[in-house]
Structure 1
Amino acid sequence: MKQLVLLTLLSLVTFPVFSQSGGTPSSASAAANRRAILQILKRQTEDWNDGHIDKFMVGYWQSDSLTFVGKAGITYGYRATLDNYIKRYPNRASMGSLKFDILQLDFPAPNVAYVIGRFHLTRPEVGDASGHFTLLWRKIKNRWVIVSDHSS
């Protein structure tokens, strides 16, 4: 019994406990990371609603390794993803007004975040659109960016 208690205490000292919602050893750090990601999503919503797809894309990783999974399949790369957004949403009527509902935001590992949410586009002229998304984020060079987006 004494060995079991010692082993349990040793494992707690050796392996840091990650919070379920934070994913990092420090709850203050987890809260800061959560705020940073939510702020990027808020900025993306504002940029979209202002008609600026190029600014909306600032939240994405500017890399050929970015992946976007949608109804048409997988798109690889930042430029191809931007081009697809411009093609699919060529004007303000098609873009409409965006609203995100964040359903889950977790940190499964340090510098990695996972977001599940819903999107809704209010588009009086062409019909509303809505669906769900999952976003995989990485903190690269001290900046959170979306490295993979699956929207449907």
Structure 2
Amino acid sequence: MRNRLYILLALCLLSMSACVSSQKQPAVTDARAEVRQVLEEQAQCWSTGDLECYMQGYWKSDSLLFIGSRGLTYGWQQTLDNYKKSYPDVSAMGKLNFDLKEFRMLSPETMLVVGKWHLLRDADKGDLQGHFSVIFRKFPEGWKIIADHSS
């Protein structure tokens, strides 16, 4: 009888452990899917030449941080203005693709994403590519990039 009680107790503990871990995993999986969707939408917007649409994936704040080849940029509007200068038309922008390599939850509200970006452009412009790391934060309106380091 005592052995059956121990077995029953062990099964209950295993069952509770499985429930707890299964509750955490969907939250991470859902967050990854939501962040992936933001990046897919950005790639689509970029590829149609719509920078304002592309920028919807970023936190619309003066505290947005962008780090690129020219150094640090602060602010959503300044980041948009820099993109407009660097990519004045659709042919300069090309077609954007992301190859996502890493997703790391930093907290329930923040996620680090690391990947590669590639711009497929006409032969006279030449393709561009590099790596990026972005930090997303979950806001009431969804996941937004709060810091971007692209090379």
Note whether the superposition's TM-score is higher than 0.5: yes
**Counterpart Cα distance in 2 of 1:96 and 1:80:** 21
Structure 1 residue 109, shift from structure 2 partner: 1.2
2:24 aligned partner: 26
The answer on 1:73 being equivalent to 2:71 is yes
Q: Which amino acid aligns with 1:27?
A: Q
Report 1:1-152 matches (<5 A): 26-124=24-122, 125-141=124-140, 143-152=142-151
Structure 1 stretch 54-63 or stretch 105-114: which is displaced more? 105-114
The residue identity in structure 1 corresponding to 2:26 is A
Q: Which runs of 5+ in 1 are unaligned?
A: 1-18, 20-24
Q: 1:66-107: per-residue Cα shift (whole Å, max 9, x none)?
A: 000000000000000000011100011110111100010110
* Inter-partner Cα distance in structure 2 for 1:94 and 1:79: 20
Structure 1 length normalisation: TM-score?
A: 0.82
Q: Tell me the matched-pair count.
A: 130
Bigger-Rg structure (1/2): 2
Flag structure 2 segments of 5+ consecutive residues without an equivalent: 1-20
Q: Which has the higher helix share?
A: 2
How far the C-alpha of 1:142 sits from its partner, in A, is 5.0
Percent identity among equivalent residues? 41
- For 2:140 and 2:40, the matched residues in 1 are separated by 21
Question: After superposition, what is the alpha-carbon deviation per residue over 1:15-40, rounded to whole angstroms, capped at 9, x for unaligned?
Answer: xxxx8xxxxx6111111111100001
Secondary structure of the corresponding residue to residue 26 of structure 1: helix
1:33-79 Cα offsets, whole Å, 9 max, x none, are: 11100001111111111110110000000000000000000000000
Separation (CA, whole Å) in 1 of partners of 2:70 and 2:141: 32
